[in-house]
């Protein structure tokens, strides 16, 4: 049994010793593993690789034509991969980083239209059909976080700002029906309705009638997030071209209900492409979501406004505010076993984003880096515009594969008047998407 020393046998002591040959073997084994796997630069900062693939089949139809395209990238939550990591500095302070990349190709769901052939050539390589765009940087930043004081992030970040819909369905409804409807079919051209006497396309897109993207922008700058204060999170961002945002978000549970809310403000003061003036655009948006936990019934909504200060009141501008609202309601439960099953319906409206009353407002708003729409149709100035949309959908999560299957339909009713033609007869547009996201 070995010689007893202080109640422990010499044999046992040797077996428990982490020095000598044991550690040498362990170091050699670690070196072998590092030589055959993805390696990071040091052992002080952790490194994690994660991401997702999200592809769909997309069908679209107006009064003139229909089309189906397979393999479209779902930009509601795009195909991407992420490198991230952190290191503890003290018991309360942590440093970290993230770098997220996505494939930026012509098969993105917001670029698809009725007539354009997808370009499978990578610019700069000539006729190389193995490419389909290029890698785009979504985020690249470092951060410092204190458990009490919050987090400061520097680099390319998801900015704070006006609140988009907060999805508490539990079933990934935003994979189909995200707050920004033009991420699915925003590139579709407006077409005359059947029987109107016109054929073809107008040159204007669905995305020009609803170009809002509240709370979804990314930009270089500095961002601050507080630590949670009883479920309340506050934040601010300041970045390139004096873009400034503030935001408040809250999440909690009361009496069997899950509640989430958000509110935010954004001011863009970008210099126009001509360098002659600044855009001076204000945005605000608010969100509220409620879910009854026991039954799985949920309602979630948001509303927003864009105010073009430069052209709102002057004699040459008269640019109307863009306003939007939308509401989604449904039910979600794990009834089959593999994961949450969810069904939902939605209704939304956007108004005033494309209308302007003069050449000054039309040209200047369209030209700015903030991305205003073209305020003309067939050479005439748009005096009023709106789009109503509604839809239905279903999702099925498969927890064992970190996967969500989805199928959804949306119907758009665009309306436009110009200074030469009231109520232009435009076709409605239907889109159907079905696909899956798998995470890794």
Q: Where are the beta strands (DSSP E) in 74-121?
A: 80-88, 93-104
The number of C-alpha atoms within 13 Å of 83 and in the hemisphere containing its C-beta is: 12
pLDDT at residue 112, as a whole number: 85
The least confident of 18-27, 79-88, 126-135 is: 126-135
Model pLDDT for residues 359-374, shown as the tens digit of each residue: 444 444 444 334 455 5
Residue 124: CB partners within 8 Å, gap ≥ 6?
Answer: none
- The average pLDDT across 147-161 equals 95
- The average pLDDT across 401-426 equals 92
The least confident of 2-6, 63-67, 315-319, 349-353 is: 2-6
> Counting Cβ atoms within 10 Å, is residue 17 exposed (0-12), middle (13-18) or buried (19+)?
exposed
Question: How far apart are the C-alpha atoms of 38 and 34, rounded to whole Å?
Answer: 7
- The average pLDDT across 142-166 equals 95
Which residue would you say has higher pLDDT here, 43 or 185? 185
pLDDT at residue 143, as a whole number: 98
pLDDT at residue 135, as a whole number: 81
Whether pLDDT at 21 is above 90: no
DSSP run (H or E) holding 291: strand 281-292
Within the chain, what is the greatest distance between any pair of CA atoms? 105
pLDDT at residue 103, as a whole number: 80
- Is this prediction's pTM over 0.85? no
Which residue would you say has higher pLDDT here, 365 or 263? 263
Q: How far is CA 163 from the centre of its chain?
A: 12
The token pair that represents 248 in the structure block? 């408040």
Strands 48-61 and 429-439: antiparallel
Model pLDDT for residues 26-80, shown as the tens digit of each residue: 777 767 766 655 566 777 899 999 999 999 999 999 998 899 999 899 999 999 9
Question: How far apart are the C-alpha atoms of 328 and 391, rounded to whole Å?
Answer: 9
- Are 60 and 96 a contacting pair, CB within 8 Å? no
Question: How far apart are the C-alpha atoms of 269 and 266, rounded to whole Å?
Answer: 10
Residue 169: CB partners within 8 Å, gap ≥ 6?
Answer: 291, 298, 300, 328, 330, 332, 342, 344
Model pLDDT for residues 91-132, shown as the tens digit of each residue: 999 999 999 999 877 788 988 888 876 654 444 444 444 445
pLDDT bracket for residue 82 (50, 70, 90): very high
Residue-level length of the chain: 440
Per DSSP, the residues of 113-137 read -SSPPP----TTSSS-TT--SEEEE
Q: What angle do CA 320, 324, 326 make, to 5 degrees?
A: 170
Whether pLDDT at 10 is above 80: no
- Are 302 and 289 a contacting pair, CB within 8 Å? no
pLDDT bracket for residue 418 (50, 70, 90): confident
pLDDT at residue 275, as a whole number: 52
Q: What would you report as the CA-atom Rg of the chain, rounded to the nearest whole angstrom? A: 26
| Average pLDDT over all residues of the chain | 83
Whether pLDDT at 166 is above 80: yes
């Amino acid at each position: 049994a070995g010689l007893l020393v202080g109640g422990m046998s010499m044999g046992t002591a040797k077996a428990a010793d982490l020095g000598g040959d044991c550690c040498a073997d362990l170091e050699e084994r670690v070196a072998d593993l590092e030589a055959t796997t993805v390696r990071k630069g040091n052992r002080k900062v952790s490194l994690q690789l994660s991401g997702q693939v999200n592809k769909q089949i997309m069908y679209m139809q107006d009064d003139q034509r229909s089309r189906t395209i397979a393999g479209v990238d779902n930009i509601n939550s795009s195909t991407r991969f992420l490198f991230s990591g952190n290191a503890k500095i003290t018991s309360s302070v942590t440093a970290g980083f993230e770098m997220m990349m996505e494939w930026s190709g012509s098969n993105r769901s917001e670029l698809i239209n009725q007539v354009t052939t997808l370009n499978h050539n990578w610019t700069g390589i000539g006729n190389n059909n193995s490419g389909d765009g290029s890698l785009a940087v979504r985020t690249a930043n470092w951060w410092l976080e204190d458990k009490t004081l919050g987090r400061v992030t520097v680099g390319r970040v998801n900015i704070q700002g006006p609140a988009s819909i907060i999805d508490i369905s539990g079933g990934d409804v935003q994979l189909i029906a995200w707050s920004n409807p033009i991420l699915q079919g925003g590139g579709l051209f407006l077409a005359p309705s059947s029987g109107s006497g016109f054929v073809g396309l107008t040159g204007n897109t669905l995305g020009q009638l609803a170009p809002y993207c509240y709370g979804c922008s990314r930009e270089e700058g500095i961002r601050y997030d507080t630590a949670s204060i009883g479920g309340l999170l506050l934040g601010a961002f300041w970045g390139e071209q004096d873009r400034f945002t503030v935001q408040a978000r809250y999440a909690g549970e009361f009496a069997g209900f899950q509640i989430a809310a958000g509110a935010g403000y954004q001011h863009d003061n970008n210099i126009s492409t001509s360098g002659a003036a600044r855009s001076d655009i204000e945005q605000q948006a608010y969100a509220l979501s409620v879910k009854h936990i026991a039954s799985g019934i949920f309602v979630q909504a948001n509303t927003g406004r864009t105010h073009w200060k430069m052209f709102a009141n002057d004699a040459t501008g008269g640019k109307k505010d863009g306003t939007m609202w939308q509401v989604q309601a449904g039910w979600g439960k794990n009834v089959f076993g593999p994961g949450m099953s969810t069904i939902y319906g939605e209704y939304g409206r956007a108004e005033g984003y494309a209308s302007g009353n003069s050449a000054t407002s039309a040209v200047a708003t369209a030209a700015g880096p903030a991305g205003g729409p073209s305020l003309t149709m067939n050479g005439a100035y748009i005096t009023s515009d709106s789009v109503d949309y509604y839809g239905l959908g279903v999702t099925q999560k498969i927890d064992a594969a970190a996967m969500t299957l989805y199928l959804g339909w949306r119907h758009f009713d665009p309306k436009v008047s110009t200074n030469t033609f009231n109520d232009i007869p435009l076709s409605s547009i239907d889109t159907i998407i079905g696909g899956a996201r798998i995470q890794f």
